[in-house]
Amino acid sequence: MSGEQVTLFYGLKTVMNKKVTFTIRSIHAVLIYRFILLLLLLSLSRLGFYVFNRSMFPGMDAAELIKALRGGIVFDLSASVYYGMLFILLHSVPFDFRYSRIYDRIAKWIFFITGFVMLAMNGCDYVYYRFLGKRATADVFGTFRNESNLAKLFVRFMADYWQVTLFTIFLFLLLVWLGNRVRPEKPRHGNKIAYHTFNLLMLPVIVFLVIGAARGGYKHSTRPITISNAARYVSDPGNVGVVLNTPFSILRTWGKKELVRYEFFNEEQLEKIYNPHYKPEPSGAFRRLNVVILILESFGREYIGFYNSNNLNGEYKSYTPFLDSLLSESLTFDVSLANGNKSIDAMPSIIASLPSLQTPYIISHYANNAINGLPSLLKKKGYYTAFFHGAPNGSMGFDAFARMAGFDDYYGKNEYPGGKEDFDGMWGLWDEPFLQFFAERLNHFPQPFLASVFTISSHHPFEVPREYRDRFPEGPVPICKTISYSDFALKRFFNAVKDKPWFDSTLFVITADHTNEIISKEYQNTLGHFSVPVAFFMNKSNLRGKKAGIAQQIDIMPSVLSFLNYDGEFIAFGNDLFRSNTEPFAFNTIGNNYYLYMDNFLLEMIDNRSKRLINFKTDRYFDNNLVEQMPELRKKMEDKLRAVIQVYNRRLLDNDLVVR
pLDDT tens string 579-617: 877 789 999 998 778 999 999 999 999 878 899 999 999
Q: End-to-end distance of the chain based on CA atoms, in angstroms?
A: 66
Q: Which run of H or E residues covers position 415?
A: none
What gap in Å lies between CA 287 and CA 126, rounded to an integer?
Answer: 45
Task: Give bridge partners of residue 449 from the DSSP assignment.
Answer: 384
Q: What is the mean pLDDT of residues 57-81?
A: 93
Residue 147 binned pLDDT confidence (cut-offs 50, 70, 90): low
Confidence of residue 25 (pLDDT cuts 50, 70, 90): low
Lowest mean pLDDT among 59-63, 72-76, 409-413, 512-516: 59-63
Pairwise pLDDT comparison (435 vs 60), residue with the higher score: 435
Q: pLDDT value at position 617? A: 93
Determine the pLDDT at residue 20: 59
Task: Give me the pLDDT at residue 144, please.
Answer: 62
pLDDT greater than 80 at residue 422: yes
Q: Which three-class secondary structure string do you get for 274-339? A: CCCEECCCCCCCCCCCEEEEEEECCCCHHHCHHHCCCHHHHCCCCCCHHHHHHHCCCEEEEEEECC
Confidence of residue 56 (pLDDT cuts 50, 70, 90): confident
The H or E element spanning position 453 is strand 449-454
Residues 611-629: what's their mean pLDDT?
94
Predicted pLDDT at 608: 84
In the predicted model, what is the mean pLDDT of residues 245-249?
94
For residue 222, what pLDDT is reported? 64
pLDDT in tens, 461-483: 899 999 999 999 899 999 999 99
* Residues linked to residue 13 through DSSP beta bridges, in sequence order: 7, 23
Positive or negative, the CA dihedral 350, 459, 431, 330 is positive
Mean pLDDT of the chain: 89
The pLDDT-based confidence of 2 (bands split at 50, 70, 90) is very low
Q: Which residue has the higher pLDDT, 188 or 653?
A: 653
Q: What CATH number is given for 270-653 in this structure? A: 3.40.720.10
**pLDDT, tens digit, for every residue of 100-146?**
888 888 989 999 999 999 999 999 999 888 766 778 888 677 656 65
Query: How many degrees, rounded to 5, is the angle at CA 128 between CA 127 and CA 133?
Result: 110
Please tell me the least confidently modeled range out of 12-16, 193-197, 432-436.
Answer: 12-16
| pLDDT for 168 beyond 70 | yes
Highest mean pLDDT among 315-319, 507-511, 583-587: 507-511
The tens digit of pLDDT for each residue in 188-236 reads 666 677 667 777 888 888 889 999 998 888 776 667 888 888 888 988 7
8, pLDDT greater than 60: no
Backbone phi and psi for residue 509, each to the nearest 5 degrees, phi listed first: -115, 130
More confidently predicted of 188 and 384? 384
**11 band by pLDDT with thresholds 50, 70 and 90:** very low
Give CA separation, 35 vs 25, 120, 185, 218, 589, in Å: 17, 17, 18, 20, 42
Q: Taking a C-beta distance cutoff of 8 angstroms, is the pair 383, 554 a contact?
A: no
Give residue limits of the domains in the chain. 35-185+199-253, 270-653
Instruction: Write the pLDDT tens digit of every residue in 273-294.
Output: 999 999 999 989 999 999 999 9
The whole-angstrom separation of Cα 577 and Cα 584 is: 8
Q: E strand or H helix at 240, and its extent?
A: helix 240-243
CA distance 321 to 484: 8
> Which of 337, 333, 357 is CA-nearest to residue 345?
357
pLDDT tier, 312 (very low <50, low <70, confident <90, very high otherwise):
low
Instruction: Say if residue 3's pLDDT is above 60.
Output: no
pTM for the model stands at 0.81
pLDDT at 198 (0 to 100): 76
* Residue type present at position 3: G
The β-bridge partners of 280 are none
